[in-house]
Every structure is written in structure tokens, then in C-alpha cells.
């Protein structure tokens, strides 16, 4: 997150990312190797949050290290202000842009997270968030933990891709289309598109526990990170206010079901989420004031979705405890 193009009154996301891939056969020059790469994220960012969730569900923590940027950034770059001295302890850089410039000295685009960096060279490999989670599921399969779920199972890939595409264009990106609209007409059109899509996923989820099949897949990860940010940020900050998530019964139960599943709620940092949006988007919120609400304890209430059946991890098992140093800080979650 961090790059967008405001063309006219409608918000358009710049989707021309670094398309290099880390693959099992190394065809782009970057073979999958344990310990070679570092995933750089910010907990605030929904696209980065997806990578955090998938890495945890698949058990890749010991294979792919992780570095956390702080929740805010300036015009230049995400920064490592959570680390001692403001420097990433592995890459030894204060700004993520240093890894981008190491590979592309004249890199002209936004410095976005998530990004994967090649530790030996200090160079960014990819920031293509649409492909990165899929590759963790497929190209990194040899290093998945025992009991890792199939988040992108081959028989369901076409349907997952189709659902994920609509979730991305209409919901993940739809909230931004509302928030950064430059005219009343553009905003109202974006608002209608967003809630039409939320009604669509709500109808789909009314009779099935997960978006595709009877287990958690990539499609659910992609929808969850937007739903988690809906009431704390998008409802007010981005004017997505037809209703709160907590007022949409099916989606609210679905979101709580996932939140209470290991890998989802335990990677969600509501404090950093609110700090990022309300402090960085000074064009939307010039005062930089971060709202105190909403009360988040309701995320932990019973959801009743078990009645729809489904098996969260299929034939697999839940991930183990969050590794030391990767836990969401106390007081930053729900409850």
C-alpha cells in the first residue's frame, strides 16, 4: 500500500508493480530458498496483512523472515521506526526505499508494502501483492508446515480467482474509491458499487461458511483484511457509511468467525490501522486526529457460523502460537 494515482475526480490505483517472482525453479533469477529473503510489511496495510496471515497459516515463519515498518510514513517511504535506532535489524536500512533503490536506482513509483527483499544483495525482489500470497501457497509448498491448509487448491483456483477479482476491484479497492473520490458524483458512484458488492458477498455467505468451497482459501484472506478495517476506518474516514460492518449480520458473523481463527485476529493491529489512515491521509483528515472508537470487544462475541458446517483448515490443522517478536502488541487487538 502507498501508491495511487488520482486522475480527475475518480480514484485509480496504480497496479503496475514489480512483477519478478520467487519460484521453485528460480526462472526469474530468484529461487525459493529458506533464509534468503525478508518479507517487509506494515500491520496497518490490508495488502501486507494478507501476507502476514498467509505466511502464518502456512507455517513459513522460519523460512521467510519478517520485518515490520511503523504505521505511518512520509512522502518518501515506509520506515522502520519500530526497530531500535529506526533501522531494520537484518537489512540494516532505515527506509524501505533503500531496498527499492538498491535494485532500481531511479525507481519512479510508490514505495509499497508488502515487499520481499533479497537479503544477500539488499535488493527488493517484488511488491506484487496480488501474486505474492499465491506464490507462498504454490511455489513455497516444499517448506509449508505439517498440516498447512490448502489456501489455493488447484481444483478451486478458477473460482477463487473469479471471486477474488471481484472482491479486489469492488471491495478491497472500492473503499479507497469512496475515500479518495474527488467529486460528489464520483463518490456516490463508488459508494453504490461498494455496497452492491458487499450485498453480493453477504448473499453468498448467507448459506456457506467460506467464500469458495468449505474451507478457508485465499479469497477469504483477501476479504477479511478489508472487513477488519471497515468500522475502525472505512465507515468514517472513507465515508463508507450506509451501514457499519457490525450492522450487516452475515458479514459481521463471517468476519468474527475468521477473526477468532488463529492467524487472523492475532495478526490484526487496530491501533496501527487507525494511526496509519487517520495520520497519513492528511488530504482526507487534515487534523491528523485519530478517533478513540469504536469499541472492539464485540469482535470476540459468538458468531454461530459453525452451524453452516465447513472445516476452517480442511484436512490440515491450525497454526501454532505466534512466534516471539511477531505478536500484536498488548492492547492493540480486540477486547
CA–CA distance, 171 with 223 (Å, rounded to integer)? 8
pLDDT, tens digit, 9 for 90 and up, residues 167-192:
999 999 999 999 999 999 999 999 99
State whether 36 and 176 are in the same domain: no
Number of structural domains (the chain) is: 2
pLDDT, tens digit, 9 for 90 and up, residues 187-217:
999 999 999 999 999 999 999 999 999 999 9
pLDDT confidence of 156, banded at 50, 70, 90? Answer: very high
State whether 116 and 194 are in the same domain: no
Which residue, chain included where needed, has cell 517472482? 21
Is 334 inside a domain boundary?
no
Residue after which a domain boundary falls, among 118, 143, 168: 143
Residue after which a domain boundary falls, among 103, 123, 143: 143
List the catalytic residue out of 100, 176, 210, 254.
Answer: 176
Is 214 inside a domain boundary?
yes
List the catalytic residue out of 17, 30, 45, 69.
Answer: 45
Is 316 inside a domain boundary?
no
Q: Does the annotation mark 45 as catalytic?
A: yes
Angle at 15 between CA 51 and CA 2, to 5 degrees: 65
CA–CA distance, 18 with 118 (Å, rounded to integer)? 14
On the question of pLDDT at 8 being above 60, the answer is no
* Of residues 240, 228, 237, 219, the one with CA closest to residue 168: 219
State whether 94 and 28 are in the same domain: yes
pLDDT confidence of 14, banded at 50, 70, 90? Answer: low
20: containing domain? 5-143
Q: Is the distance from CB of 278 to CB of 289 less than 8 angstroms?
A: yes
State whether 171 and 115 are in the same domain: no
State whether 195 and 138 are in the same domain: no
On the question of pLDDT at 105 being above 60, the answer is yes
Contacts of range 228-233, beta carbons closer than 8 Å, 24 or more positions apart: 228/46, 228/49, 228/255, 228/259, 228/264, 228/268, 228/273, 229/46, 229/175, 229/273, 229/277, 230/175, 231/294, 232/270, 232/273, 232/274, 232/294, 232/296, 233/273, 233/274, 233/277, 233/278
pLDDT of residue 73: 84
Q: Is the distance from CB of 42 to CB of 129 less than 8 angstroms?
A: no
Amino acid at each position: 500500500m502507498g501508491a495511487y494515482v488520482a486522475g480527475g475526480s475518480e480514484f485509480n490505483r496504480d497496479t503496475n508493480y514489480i512483477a519478478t517472482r520467487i519460484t521453485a525453479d528460480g526462472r526469474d533469477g530468484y529461487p525459493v530458498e529458506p533464509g534468503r529473503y525478508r518479507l517487509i510489511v506494515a500491520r496497518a496495510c490490508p495488502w501486507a496483512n494478507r501476507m502476514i496471515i498467509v505466511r502464518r497459516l502456512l507455517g513459513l515463519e522460519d523460512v521467510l523472515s519478517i520485518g515490520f515498518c511503523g504505521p505511518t510514513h512520509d512522502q518518501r517511504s515506509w520506515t522502520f521506526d519500530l526497530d531500535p535506532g529506526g533501522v531494520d535489524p537484518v537489512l540494516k536500512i532505515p527506509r524501505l526505499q533503500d531496498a527499492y533503490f538498491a535494485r532500481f536506482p531511479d525507481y519512479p513509483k510508490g514505495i509499497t508494502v508488502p515487499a520481499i527483499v533479497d537479503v544477500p544483495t539488499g535488493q527488493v525482489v517484488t511488491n506484487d501483492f496480488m501474486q505474492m500470497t499465491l506464490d507462498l501457497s504454490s511455489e513455497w509448498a516444499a517448506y509449508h508446515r505439517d498440516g498447512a491448509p490448502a489456501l489455493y487448491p488447484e481444483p478451486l483456483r478458477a473460482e477463487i480467482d473469479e471471486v477474488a477479482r471481484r472482491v479486489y476491484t469492488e471491495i478491497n479497492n472500492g473503499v479507497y474509491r469512496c475515500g479518495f473520490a474527488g467529486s460528489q458524483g464520483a463518490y456516490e458512484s463508488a459508494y453504490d458499487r461498494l455496497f452492491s458488492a458487499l450485498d453480493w458477498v453477504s448473499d453468498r455467505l448467507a448459506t456457506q461458511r467460506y467464500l469458495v468451497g468449505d474451507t478457508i482459501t485465499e479469497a477469504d484472506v483477501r476479504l477479511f483484511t478489508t472487513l477488519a478495517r471497515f468500522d475502525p476506518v472505512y465507515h468514517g474516514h472513507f465515508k463508507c457509511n450506509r451501514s457499519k460492518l457490525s450492522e450487516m449480520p452475515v458479514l459481521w458473523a463471517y468476519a468474527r468467525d475468521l477473526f477468532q481463527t488463529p492467524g487472523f485476529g492475532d495478526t490484526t493491529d487496530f491501533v496501527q490501522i487507525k494511526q496509519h489512515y487517520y495520520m497519513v491521509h492528511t488530504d482526507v483528515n487534515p487534523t491528523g486526529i485519530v478517533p478513540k472508537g469504536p469499541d472492539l470487544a464485540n469482535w470476540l462475541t459468538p458468531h454461530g457460523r459453525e452451524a453452516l458446517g465447513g472445516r476452517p483448515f480442511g484436512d490440515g490443522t491450525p497454526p501454532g502460537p505466534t512466534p516471539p517478536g511477531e505478536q500484536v502488541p498488548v492492547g492493540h487487538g480486540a477486547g
